[in-house]
Chains A and B, each alone.
Chain A
Amino acid sequence: MTQTEFLHIVTPFKDKVFRLAKRLLVSTEEAEDATQEVLIKLWKNKAKIKAYKNVEAFSMTMTKNYCFDKLKSKQSQNLKIVHSNYEDKQTALQKQVELNDSLTWVEKIIENLPEQQRLIIQLRDIEAYDFDEIAKMLDMNQTAVRVALSRARKTIREKLTHTHNYGIK
């Protein structure tokens, strides 16, 4: 397999890998490193790529596992991942000035969700995968995915109502 062929396979989902990594690791730099790591692993095993049924789902699972490993090793070292990118840099967001503040609230609320729920919110509400795919990526059954998703959505909504009514948490 040549580099261009490989890139052709990888390009459609590399951003999704990155966003999933960022959802778990929070820091943009860490997420970039994780994405690079995952894609390089794929490249090294490129001989096997054709044997995988679904490279995209496989890569998402790999990303999830890689990020969990990263988080675990950070925890055991008693280190926190340093990140300074609370602010969303996207210009499209900056235009919606009145919404901007609420958007950072949503981000913070999602950050405080359990990792499992964060993953599912990311995969469903942002990447729009169907439940079957999510279940396979996370090695769960569909009902469990639905329950976790419902819980996550309700938490986000409740916390947002809370901040709306009282201004600041």
Chain B
Amino acid sequence: MESNKIEALLEKYDHAETTLAEERELKRYFAEADVPAHLDVYKPMFAYFKANEEEVFTKKLPLKTEQKYVLKWISAAAAVVLLLGFYFSRSNESQDLGTFDDPELAYLEVTKSLEMISEKLNQGTATVGYLDEVNKGTATLNYLNELENATQIIFKKQKQ
């Protein structure tokens, strides 16, 4: 290609008036070996552009984003259900005691439950019965008193 045509193109190029086709032509021209000395400056410029067209993105794309979201929502829902469950079971226990409309029935129920309480209490006192064993222990200790009596008698005799 004649260098005056190239010079004209370069003039246009500097003013950003070249078309893409003309720019391709320039790139091709400067990729060739023999370029007049006064146009040497453009050579590395176009070579650089050309070299940079080839760089590629090689990193892998992690695209599995959806499943993670589903798991997140499931765990959040589970947590909410657990919390609600605890809340409702507690409040039921503390509030619903049951009522009676008929006073006689209520009286019967009360005596029944009081009887149950006393029965349980008696069971408790029955186990306390082991304390009797302690009393037995102290009773045997009384034999020591007998011993003392005997020694006292002896000492009294000596004094006389």
Do the two chains belong together in a single complex? yes
Residues of chain A within 8 A (CB-CB) of B23 are 124-125, 128
- The distance in angstroms between the C-alpha atoms of A44 and B69, with both chains bound, is 12
**Size of the chain B interface, CB-CB below 8 angstroms:** 30
Within 8 A of B (CB), among A71-92: 88, 90, 92
Contacting pair B14 A157 (CB below 8 A) = yes
Interface flag for B16 (CB, 8 Å):
yes
**Inter-chain residue pair count (beta carbon < 8 A):** 90
Contacting pair B47 A15 (CB below 8 A) = no
Contacting pair B56 A15 (CB below 8 A) = yes
* 7 pairs of residues in contact across A and B, judged by CB atoms under 8 Å: A15-B56, A32-B58, A103-B44, A150-B16, A157-B42, A160-B41, A161-B41
Nearest Cβ distance between residue A42 and chain B, in whole angstroms? 10
Contacting pair B63 A106 (CB below 8 A) = no
- The distance in angstroms between the C-alpha atoms of A39 and B49, with both chains bound, is 25
Residue of B nearest to A153 (CB): B14
Contacting pair A106 B16 (CB below 8 A) = no
Binding site for A on B (CB under 8 A): 13-17, 20, 23-24, 40-45, 47-49, 51-59, 61-63, 65
Residues of chain A within 8 A (CB-CB) of B43 are 99, 102
- Sample of 20 further A-B pairs with CB below 8 A, known A6-B63, A43-B63, A90-B54: A7-B61, A15-B56, A18-B57, A32-B58, A35-B59, A39-B61, A40-B61, A43-B61, A92-B54, A102-B44, A103-B51, A105-B44, A124-B16, A125-B23, A126-B49, A128-B20, A146-B15, A150-B15, A150-B16, A164-B40
**Size of the chain A interface, CB-CB below 8 angstroms:** 45
- The distance in angstroms between the C-alpha atoms of A98 and B69, with both chains bound, is 54
- The distance in angstroms between the C-alpha atoms of A64 and B121, with both chains bound, is 83
Residue of A nearest to B51 (CB): A93
Nearest Cβ distance between residue B3 and chain A, in whole angstroms? 17
Interface flag for A96 (CB, 8 Å):
yes
- The distance in angstroms between the C-alpha atoms of A99 and B13, with both chains bound, is 22
Interface flag for A107 (CB, 8 Å):
yes
Report if A157-B55 is in contact (Cβ < 8 Å); known contacts: A146-B16, A150-B14, A164-B40. no
Residues of chain B within 8 A (CB-CB) of A17 are 57
